[in-house]
Structure 1
Amino acid sequence: MSVDEPEAVEAFERLGLTSYEAKVFIALHRLGSGTARDVARIADVPRSQVYSVAESLEGRGLLEIQQSSPIRYRPVDVDEAQDILRDRFESERERAFDYVDRVRQESTGEETQEDIWTVRGRDRVDDRVVDLLSSAKGRIVFGTRLPELVTEPIERTLECAVESDVEVLAVSRTDAVREQLGSLEGVQTDSPPSHHGEDHRSGRIVMVDDDGILLSVIDDDGSETAIWSSGSLFASVLIQLIEASTQTPS
């Protein structure tokens, strides 16, 4: 990959150097070593700024200063500079994420996220469905009218749930879906109550235990959008409402 100097300067800036630091460092590698006058002659850095920039680079371990008259500067070699910047990046990364993790742990007991989340896109909904199914401890209800929404990962996850003594019920108005899921050992199948009308925009429904739920719709362009919630009062109440609505009227 070939880059020009402005791109190299921008790359150094993303690694934590200032623009002047990057330009002085590059200029010294062109020179091998040099004075402030030498650096200012080939770099877009005022000579008056070279001294303080060089001191900063020395503090970073990226150049050496020869106490002569005039003072001369020499950059460390490229491999050493790479190691220094890599170590600095890793150190800053650890500091940043250690702080975020500490803040997250300190917030225990407070509401730190919304109860309801939105997921857009078939692949992302697939992943969220599998995650919810995998969290089941006692009971799963999975429903869809569309065979293409019953993916192999979903089938495997349902089979694993059955092996872990989780009760699995598959609900669909579509014969092909009931046959597909009913072929999985231990998976029970059923049809929605007859008093429920068919919704041609419905996608999937997942209910896990009594506090995990996902509902999706198929958009006009064929994409899928879902809302989901887990471990929340919202999920528990919505599951109760759905189960009450599926009971056959007396």
Structure 2
Amino acid sequence: MGGAGDRRKAVEAFQRAGLTEYEARCFVALSRFGAGTAKDAAEVSDLPRTRVYDLAERLQDRGLVEIREGSPREFRAVDPDIAVEKLRREHSDHLESAADALRAVATPQRSDSTSGPWRIEGQQNVIERGQFVAARAETELFGFFTSAASFDRDCFRQAQYAIDRGVSVVLGASDEGLRVDLRERFPDATIWSPSLDWQTLETDGSQLSRLVMADRSVVMLASMRENGGTLEETAVWGEGDDSELVILCRNLLGGNLDEVTGDGSPDLPL
């Protein structure tokens, strides 16, 4: 049934999932019983018994607790998988409503407002921005990755989506093992073997980790650095003909990309 530490972690997790602290404490307490009374839940959660009745009814309204009338009333938390799925749908509905409300008040972005370069912090945010750039590709998608660790399953998925849309996909890697994997996974893509070891490019202690460019008009350039024993990834991205980042990457890659023949192993003179 887990100790106090496990219960505390569960309460914190359900708070992050959208419950109040008291709701989470009540739900986790009830999850310990097949069915329990308000007294049982109060003893485990350190909540007043009178609060348990109110909290259980609120949780029932959200589909997370079932109540059996009697003397005393009994309460039962739904299965954890059911609870998580209900909260997931609830969050999805809230986000859709938030998006609709935001679209109604947001100022449309102009090309000069997105030209950047704009900075992105955190690996997950970098990955998501890379997916956004890849999804913008209509005719050409270029990606360069310095290691297999930087080419995750989301990158594989976006590359396949682009191929399925008929986009010309060029994928480069300085890691030979990754290039072999890319050739096997994407026979319809051009796999690029750089003559310059991009992994040695370093600025202020950061090394290039990935570059994604769509239609030579939207670019994300990411780098990795060590901070206190952990690796941190940041990126900059830009869009439009006036973006300095786009211009830089066009100058760096444009002519070489034109020379790619698609034979599976071009060696571009960078």
The TM tier, using the shorter chain, reads 0.5 to 0.7
Aligned match for 1:100, one of 100, 105, 108 = 105
Q: Distance in 1 between matches of 2:189 and 2:158?
A: 11
Equivalent position of 2:225 in the other structure: 219
Alignment of 1:23-34 (within 5 A): none
* Regions of 4+ moved over 6 Å: none
Deviation at 1:198, TM superposition (A): 2.8
Q: Distance in 2 between matches of 1:129 and 1:110?
A: 19
Aligned-pair identity in percent equals 17
Q: Does structure 2 retain, via aligned residues, the 8 Å contact 1:141–1:169? A: yes
* Pair 1:140-2:141 in alignment: yes
Alignment of 1:162-201 (within 5 A): 162-185=163-186, 186-194=188-196, 198-199=200-201, 201=207
Equivalent position of 1:44 in the other structure: none
Check 1:231–1:176 CA distance in 2 against 1; reply closer, same or farther (3 A cut): same
Q: Does structure 2 retain, via aligned residues, the 8 Å contact 1:211–1:233? A: no
Equivalent position of 1:87 in the other structure: none
Structure with larger Rg: 1
Aligned match for 1:239, one of 237, 249, 252 = 249
3-state SS of 1:178 partner: helix
Q: Does structure 1 retain, via aligned residues, the 8 Å contact 2:162–2:169? A: yes
Deviation at 1:245, TM superposition (A): 8.2
Equivalent position of 2:263 in the other structure: none
Deviation at 1:114, TM superposition (A): 5.6
Q: Does structure 1 retain, via aligned residues, the 8 Å contact 2:238–2:246? A: no
One-letter amino acid matched to 1:116? P
Check 1:211–1:179 CA distance in 2 against 1; reply closer, same or farther (3 A cut): same
Q: Does structure 2 retain, via aligned residues, the 8 Å contact 1:130–1:154? A: yes
- If the length of structure 1 is used for normalisation, what is the TM-score? 0.53
Check 1:231–1:190 CA distance in 2 against 1; reply closer, same or farther (3 A cut): same
Aligned match for 1:203, one of 204, 209, 217 = 209
Deviation at 1:180, TM superposition (A): 2.0
One-letter amino acid matched to 1:136? A
Instruction: Provide Cα deviations, 1:215-242, integer angstroms capped at 9, x if missing partner.
Output: 1111122110100112342144122221
RMSD: 3.1
Instruction: Provide Cα deviations, 1:96-119, integer angstroms capped at 9, x if missing partner.
Output: 958733xx25xx768445621111
Alignment of 1:25-104 (within 5 A): 100-101=105-106, 104=107
Check 1:98–1:184 CA distance in 2 against 1; reply closer, same or farther (3 A cut): closer
Instruction: Provide Cα deviations, 1:171-199, integer angstroms capped at 9, x if missing partner.
Output: 11211111222222312211112486833
Instruction: Provide Cα deviations, 1:140-181, integer angstroms capped at 9, x if missing partner.
Output: 111111111111111011011011111111111211111222
Check 1:99–1:160 CA distance in 2 against 1; reply closer, same or farther (3 A cut): closer
3-state SS of 1:233 partner: coil
User: Which structure carries more relative contact order (alpha carbon 8 Å, separation 6+)?
Assistant: 2
Equivalent position of 1:31 in the other structure: none
Equivalent position of 1:229 in the other structure: 238
Q: Does structure 2 retain, via aligned residues, the 8 Å contact 1:115–1:232? A: no
Task: Extract unaligned runs of 5+ from structure 1.
Answer: 3-92
3-state SS of 2:209 partner: strand
Equivalent position of 1:248 in the other structure: 269
3-state SS of 2:201 partner: coil
- If the length of structure 2 is used for normalisation, what is the TM-score? 0.50
